[in-house]
Structure 1
Amino acid sequence: MSTASSMMQGARASAGFAIGAFMFGLVFGSTAIALGMPADQSLVMSATAFAGAAQFSALPLWSHPLPYLAIAISVALVSTRNILMGLSLSADFRQAPWPLRLLAIFTLVDASWALAMRERGRAELTAFFCGSSMTLYVSWMVGVLLGNLLPEMLDPVTVAAIGFGGVIFLALVLVLLAKNPVGPRLPWAVSALVAVVLSYVAAPHFILLGAVGAGALSSVLMRRRVRD
């Protein structure tokens, strides 16, 4: 199957998710304007970051002068689940040409990752992934553009809550990988256990950081033990 055909199949598979991406973009564009972000900045951020939950986490901090370090830390913490998603597809991405690899890395989002995991084992998986991601990207950008014209759809408290939605998706990642594990099961189990423990004592973004970090550390220790 050709790369173009696989991308088209990915685009068709993500049609339903594209509606959600459009609505998410609509809410972001509206909220960004309501909180004082200029329309051109919200469009540039959306086009270059393409990370809905991370962008929502930055909105409550958007003030003058910009707290760059606080924004960077907040976005990094919310986005730590992308490490698990990227690791789970890394073997497939390595088989693709460099342009497709870079496009896949840039457009790594929750919905296209879930579709790709469902299609594991198919030829041209990276092309399929990129086709689905680009469909979501276009829908997201159209939503943001229209949302800029509809300010004040959500209040700041709701915006902050949306920014921590990554914790819920981390749980979905762990459940799916427990059923269809990529590599040893232990790192995923460690990550899940740490997430549960931290849920009683830490804020949502620190749960993400701790769970992903613990899983990665256990994987490194396992590999060292095997080599020794």
Structure 2
Amino acid sequence: MTTAHTIPLNSASQTWAAEARRASKAGIPVLMALIPLAMVLGAQAHQKGLSLVEVTLMTGLNYAGGSEFAAIGLWNSPLPVLLIVVMTFLVNSRHLLMGAALAPYIRHLPRKVVYPALFFMVDESWAFSLLDARSREAQGETPAFSLPFYATLGAMFWVSWFSFATLGAILGPIIGDLGRWGFDMAFPAVFLMLIRGMWNTARAARPWMVSLVAASGVHLCVPGAWYVPAGAVAGLIAAWFWAGEEL
């Protein structure tokens, strides 16, 4: 599988069309993993009682797979609204660190471009675009951040996410439990690929390990989905604690 750190860089390709082709080539392997994942989410959401319109709106407007899976896992009657809101915030709080890492590369862009662009920032588009910007910067490209590259990835992942989530909601009742086909394994597979692409040293992976240990411990000791915010908070604290170190 093509990993983020092996994205080919053609310094002469500055047009939107060329950058779009480059982004498509880089993102298609990940897209193939996101499609079944979106279908699993859509099927689970439909099983919890969400309509097709509600599934489309949730995946299209919230657009954050981790928090959506967490919310659907908590979706019961009566609906624990406060818990879902808190869980969504904690799971999505990693975007604060992601945005901070990307900020130096997008300072030259006007706010009317930056704010809409950040809506499409998910783990996959962020990882690819950040590593691409670092690669371009190392080769002396100015600006280092390629907006067409980022925009193409964002459009690919966003449209595919809510489209196939809706398709999963439609086909779920017909096919049955999509998880039995192993589709749910796409989620950890994508993140393992992204982590591998961003791997520099073992020290850089310490916050991930802290998050894993905290989430696993809470999952074994505390009933419910509290392992999700536990892992998120532990990872954020660890990342903040080690932020000043040279990794």
* TMscore range, shorter length: 0.7 to 0.9
Work out which of the residue numbers 234, 237, 242 in structure 2 matches 1:213: 237
Distance 1:8 1:119 in 2: 14
Alpha-carbon spacing, 1:62–1:87, altered in 2? closer, same or farther (3 Å): same
In structure 1, the residue matched to 2:127 is: 114
After superposition, the CA RMSD in angstroms is 3.4
User: Does the Cα contact within 8 Å between 1:33 and 1:39 map onto a contact in 2?
Assistant: yes
Cα shift at 1:92: 1.4
Distance 1:82 1:172 in 2: 19
1:198 aligns with 2:214: yes
Cα shift at 1:69: 0.9
In structure 2, the residue matched to 1:226 is: none
Distance 1:200 1:134 in 2: 34
SS at match of 1:137: helix
Alignment map for 1:1-228 (pairs within 5 Å): 1-3=14-16, 5-120=18-133, 121-122=135-136, 123-152=144-173, 153-154=176-177, 169=191, 179=200, 188=204, 191-192=207-208, 194-195=210-211, 198=214, 201-203=217-219, 204-205=227-228, 206-219=230-243, 222=244
Moved over 4 A (4+): 171-178
Distance 2:45 2:147 in 1: 32
Structure 1 unaligned regions, length at least 5: 224-228
| Letter paired with 1:195 | S
In structure 1, the residue matched to 2:3 is: none
- The C-alpha deviation readout for 1:194-217, integer Å capped at 9, x for no partner, is 436535643442122112123225
Cα shift at 1:56: 0.9
Cα shift at 1:33: 0.8
Distance 1:134 1:202 in 2: 36
SS at match of 2:170: coil
| Letter paired with 1:210 | A
Alpha-carbon spacing, 1:18–1:176, altered in 2? closer, same or farther (3 Å): closer
- The C-alpha deviation readout for 1:27-62, integer Å capped at 9, x for no partner, is 111111111112211111111011112101101222
Count of matched residue positions in the alignment of Structure 1 and Structure 2: 210
Distance 1:88 1:51 in 2: 18
Cα shift at 1:143: 0.4
SS at match of 1:179: coil
User: Does the Cα contact within 8 Å between 2:19 and 2:148 map onto a contact in 1?
Assistant: yes
Alpha-carbon spacing, 1:117–1:124, altered in 2? closer, same or farther (3 Å): closer
Cα shift at 1:84: 3.4
Cα shift at 1:80: 3.5
Q: Matched residues, percent identical?
A: 23
